[in-house]
Amino acid sequence: MSTLTVDISDLKVSADPQDLIVTYALGSCIAVMVHDPIRLAGGMIHYMLPLSETSPEKARERPAMFADTGIPLLFQTMYKLGCRKQDLVVKVAGGGALYDDKGLFNIGKRNYTILRKMFWKSGVIIHAEDVGGAKSRTTRLFVGSGRCTVSSQGEEIEL
Amino acid sequence: MIAQSEILQRIRQLPTLPATVARLSALLRDERSEVADFEAVIRPDPALSANLLRIVNSAYFGLRCKAESVRQALALLGLRRTCEVAAAAGFAPVLPARLPGYEVEAYTFWLHCVAVAVLSERLSAEVGLKRPELTFTAGLLHDVGKLAIGAFVANSAAEIRDSMRGRGLSFVAAEREALGVDHTGVGESVARAWSLPEVVADVIRWHHAPSEASAGAARDLVELVHVADALAHALGLGADAGELARQVDPSAKAKLGIASRRLESVAGASLEEIREMARLFAPPVGVSP
């Protein structure tokens, strides 16, 4: 069994049922976790920003930095493992915000809005989510079982 | 409440920042200083000299020729960059393996310090501010107070957490309520004990409340670091017990006049540099990435 750590602006996938995929300290960033219960594969992205148009060059170097370039890449990478879109169970966590911030720093909200739009357009259903609030979250995806946990403020929940 | 004497005792117990950092910062601000003055400060410090050469010759700076002496390093890096390197190289070894109370490992705390330093610089460029002197150093050292009061914060952890989550106080306000002091006020005392330049002490003191800064304080720099600090936390660069429980000063935001898209662009452009610099100067203890 190995633990795959997903850095900020990174994605990891695995088809080893023994693996655990984890990402730490999701502030306004969002983690999308996908699991295929038939193929027993899983993947996670930890994206930082909503739209690649703010830095097209960065998007080429690091597509997983942005929702609009990273999320499609996560799904494509899963398809390469032999997964099919209709089998994938999709969960979402993160998108936190600082206190009272409705403007400049509301990166979390923008990150979430673009994700909803993209999923709506491509017909992806979010099976479970834990988003928003002044929380920093750590998420884990167990590749074999598809079990997904979110820990924050000393508590862990199942997603 | 903690007695001032207890805090001062903690500050005295802290490992000190090498005196070279304060001396180089002072030289940088002195218009009459010359390269030879910088060299005279650095050369007698073997650890700094060695670090400077290691860093200047690292892939990060991508210089075409190799520096073999302090003088060459100064010429290749420039005076400002040399002072930044000295500050980072001097500060990293001062960090404990884990900061009690803030529940953060040395590397994560370090990543946050570097993130705020780099984001402050990038933000000043983005909004077209003439970069205030010592932006990097002030950003790097903004949270030094946490080194001195971590143990007290740990003793009052439950109370601080309850005020934060139950009553919606910011972490720094909860800290002040429980202890009678917070890491910004204590940080200012650390800055004095370490003989840091006045502007750096101002940033440390006011980085959570830029609008309360006294009239003579380096307001531009305080505001920059305040916004960079909030951005670093929002992005998860150095999450600690304070999480996202903080407010951004509306007037600092307004004065900076930066739109959200440009803020995001600064964040995107800075990530690699933050990671590289954090790795390059990583503190000797703690978990590496």
- Is residue B6 over pLDDT 70? yes
Which chain A residue's Cα is nearest to B238? A25
**Same domain for B133 and B267:** yes
- Residue that is last in its domain, among B38, B73, B94: B94
For A125-151, letters b (16+ CB in 10 Å) and e give eebebbbeebbbbbbbbbbbebebbbe
Residue ranges making up the domain that contains B26: 16-94
Asked, for residue B62, whether it belongs to a domain, the answer is yes
Residue A36 has a pLDDT of: 98
- Bridge partners for A94 per DSSP: A30, A131
Which chain B residue's Cα is nearest to A95? B234
What's chain B's average pLDDT? 88
Looking at residue B252, which CATH number applies to its domain? 1.10.3210.10
- Residue that is last in its domain, among B29, B63, B94: B94
Asked, for residue B6, whether it belongs to a domain, the answer is no
**Same domain for B277 and B234:** yes
**Same domain for B104 and B90:** no
**Same domain for B50 and B29:** yes
**Same domain for B173 and B139:** yes
Interface mutation vs chain B, best among A54, A100, A151, most B CBs within 10 Å = A54
Tokens read off for B223: 């505001």
**Same domain for B118 and B107:** yes
- Residue that is last in its domain, among B94, B115, B140: B94
Per-residue confidence band for A105, with pLDDT thresholds at 50, 70 and 90: confident
Asked, for residue B10, whether it belongs to a domain, the answer is no
Distance CA B228, CA B212 (A): 18
Query: Each residue of A33-64: pLDDT tens digit?
Result: 999 999 999 999 999 999 999 888 889 999 99
Residue B289 has a pLDDT of: 42
Closest in B231, B245, B264 to A54, CB measured: B264
- Chain B residues whose beta carbon lies within 8 Å of the beta carbon of residue A25: 108, 236-239
DSSP letter string, B200-243: HHHHHHHTT-GGGS-TTS-HHHHHHHHHHHHHHHHTTTT--TTT
- Is residue B287 over pLDDT 60? no
Closest C-alpha among B88, B93, B86 to residue B23: B86
Q: Which of A106-115, B188-197, B276-285 has the lowest mean pLDDT?
A: B276-285
What's the structural domain count of chain B? 2
Distance CA A4, CA A44 (A): 10
Does the predicted interface ipTM exceed a cut of 0.85?
A: yes
Closest in A54, A101, A153 to B265, CB measured: A54
Residue A100 has a pLDDT of: 65
DSSP letter string, B10-40: HHHHSPPPPHHHHHHHHHHH-TT--HHHHHH
Asked, for residue B198, whether it belongs to a domain, the answer is yes
**Same domain for B264 and B210:** yes
**Same domain for B136 and B44:** no
Domain boundaries, chain A: 3-158
Residue A101 has a pLDDT of: 64
- Bridge partners for A128 per DSSP: A91
Chain A contact residues (CB < 8 Å to B): 7-9, 24-29, 48-51, 54-55, 58, 62, 65-66, 96-101, 103-108, 110, 134-136, 153
Average confidence (pLDDT) over B35-61 = 86
- Is residue B163 over pLDDT 60? yes
Query: Each residue of B68-104: pLDDT tens digit?
Result: 899 998 988 888 888 888 888 888 888 888 999 998 9
CATH of A3-158, one of 3.30.1740.10, 3.20.20.80, 3.30.1330.200, 3.20.20.140: 3.30.1330.200
> Taking CB atoms and an 8 Å limit, are B235 and A107 in contact across chains?
yes
**Same domain for B101 and B41:** no
Kindly report the nearest CA distance between residue B242 and chain A, in angstroms. Answer: 9
Q: Within a 10 A sphere around the Cβ of B24, how many other Cβ atoms?
A: 27
Tokens read off for B249: 């000063």
**Same domain for B211 and B155:** yes
**Same domain for B213 and B150:** yes
Residue B286 has a pLDDT of: 45
Per-residue confidence band for A78, with pLDDT thresholds at 50, 70 and 90: very high
**Same domain for B159 and B22:** no
Per-residue confidence band for B59, with pLDDT thresholds at 50, 70 and 90: confident
Kindly report the nearest CA distance between residue B125 and chain A, in angstroms. Answer: 16
- Is residue B138 over pLDDT 90? yes
Confidence (pTM): 0.92
Tokens read off for A41: 């594969």
Q: Which of A140-154, B23-37, B270-284 has the lowest mean pLDDT?
A: B270-284
Greatest mean pLDDT among A8-17, B157-166, B235-244: A8-17
Asked, for residue B146, whether it belongs to a domain, the answer is yes
Per-residue confidence band for B51, with pLDDT thresholds at 50, 70 and 90: confident
Kindly report the nearest CA distance between residue A135 and chain B, in angstroms. Answer: 6
Residue B244 has a pLDDT of: 87
- Is residue B248 over pLDDT 50? yes
Per-residue confidence band for B130, with pLDDT thresholds at 50, 70 and 90: confident
